[in-house]
Structure 1
Amino acid sequence: MRKHTIPKLCGLGLLLAALASPAKANLFRVTELLVPNVESSSVSAINNRGQSVGTATTADGVTHAILWSGAAARDLGTWKGSMVTPLAINDAGEIAGFANAPRDGPHALVWRSSGWIDLGHGYAQGMNSGGQVVGYDQRGTLWSADSVTDLGNALAQGINDAGDIVGYRYAAGNPIAVVWRNGVLTDLERNGAAYSINGAGDIVGESRSATGQYQATLWNAQGKSLLGTTGDGEHSGAFDINERDQVVGYNNTGALLWTGQKQVDLNAVLANPPGGQFRLLLAIGINEGGQIAAVGTDANNYIRGYVLTPIPEPASLALVLGGLCLLPIGGKRDLRS
């Protein structure tokens, strides 16, 4: 007997659409970024393939760079015996970061294929899909395949695929958020810092509000917007922005997501919180699928890296099922079913 599955699914889609609340934030599934025989770890970036990078301290007290593909950890080791801090990863799996050599100071590094490549003195902070790396030594620096460019007296933090760069500089002891476009350095905001820029040129970071607190800030074609906090008088900051203008960061109480006109406390929208002393403290990175790299404490109060993966709302599923109603149903109908 043939079942009329499609009509039933259409009915389910309508029911889910009726039950869905458009004001409710998506839930997230939490994945703990574990390393065998390691009590603590941290994460600093995530790419569109769901790969994330960070650090973990082994039983012998040595901190190693770690690459996670999903929940599977790969130890990328150290550089000449020195701890490596990876801070960016692109979709090709290239990683940028730095190591502090005890006798030689900081070295900017990039991981390609199977090992660390020394870019020279400095701190690598950001990387784009073309493998361009930005950071700073005494001055802002852009490392490309065949050149090193002096960006001037500022600290570069992030770069998009068009080569636009953001960061901050100091004047009279105060930070000033800056952007480089076509090689021209422009001030964005006194008493501010810029950390990330997306393909549309939208920039996030932090700036001082009228009440004196630093708050998460968005700069775009419409101007400057303070993204706010979850309470009065709180400090907040924004670390990353994707092409959907979803922004991640933190405030005094924990990790935050800003999406659309909503500010979301990420600790309140977890489908599987681990319990105990677990708490998300900082949301560090976000990819185009809405996956978030975050740092928090685990159930035993150790620092740990996490990846948060969005779970579709009932309304999203309703759209999928509703679409089935528009599909033609082929074949002859069995009148006995």
Structure 2
Amino acid sequence: MGSVGRYDSIDLAKFVLAFMVVLIHINPFSAEVNVVVMPVLRLAVPLFFIISAFFFFTKVNVGKGATESDVVQAVKRAIGFTKRNLTLYFFWLAILIVPVIALRGWFDRGILQGVFVLLQHFFFGSTFIASWYIMALIIAVWAVLILSVKLSSTQVVAITAPFFVVSCLMSNYYYAPLTQAHLDTLEFAFWYPYNSFWIGLFWVAVGKWISDRGGVWESVSSRSLLGCTAVGVIVLGFEQWFIVSNHYCFDSSVYFSLPLVVVPLFPLLLRWNISLSCGAFLRAASTVTYCLHATLGSVLAVFLGWWGLPASAVVVLGPVVILCLLVTVLLMKFERYPGLSWLRYAH
């Protein structure tokens, strides 16, 4: 795990994770099924953070033993990482800005307030639905990189762990007595931490921690990793039962037991040796689908409502998936033409 080559398993995993996110936002499940499925779907975003952090920090050298030149190169790579992600963000924001403004209603109380709300959501929340992840990733990578110049990856995980705890309390444990006693303070300080850079800090730190321990993971058998993942899934199931039984949940984004699943699962994905000829399409489709699906689903629901047709998630899901894949194919086709190479910024 020390070197980064071609990982077709990760391309496939990201493709699957993107459609897990689609199922979170366009949820076709009954309440009974959703209780079982949702904890599994919530593995997607942590794994996205860990994948991005792992591949970023595997290519940089900071901390103990790093030279000044290493740190300079790490900063340069972080600048490039930021430019790529902001370009992706602005591409989709430009494409989706009209439906976003219409759906969000930010300018209903005037232009000035609308601009402030838009900026607030750009930096600390979402503009187009699910976009919070992109900005959270950028902020978290920079924060973890800076902390890692002087601290070990274990120390960085420890520093960011309280943000993970707060995110759990504000989402799945929102109605727990402990949270309610301090809710005003938590909301003032963190807003929605489970959909912002706060939670990103922890998962990016975990991704770097995994990257720094490549040799350790290689010494652990796949059977052991699989066993740990299975135990984590069982614990996650019990946590969901506990939350539902006590009616604590406000938003199901974060569970305390998620690290027990994603930490052993990610090295398993890395060592899954498969060869795919469609890796480029899978990478593009996962990004396009993540950025486009939720806003597209909302727009389709509005149109169906205008026409007097049912606009349930069951009805909308299929067309959204098909359109996301079709858009990916078209983008990859037309970006090859002279004058249209800018379309590659969509993924």
Q: TM-score, normalised by structure 2?
A: 0.23
Structure 1 or 2, whichever has the larger Rg, is: 1
Bigger proportion of residues as helix: 2
Q: TM-score, normalised by structure 1?
A: 0.24
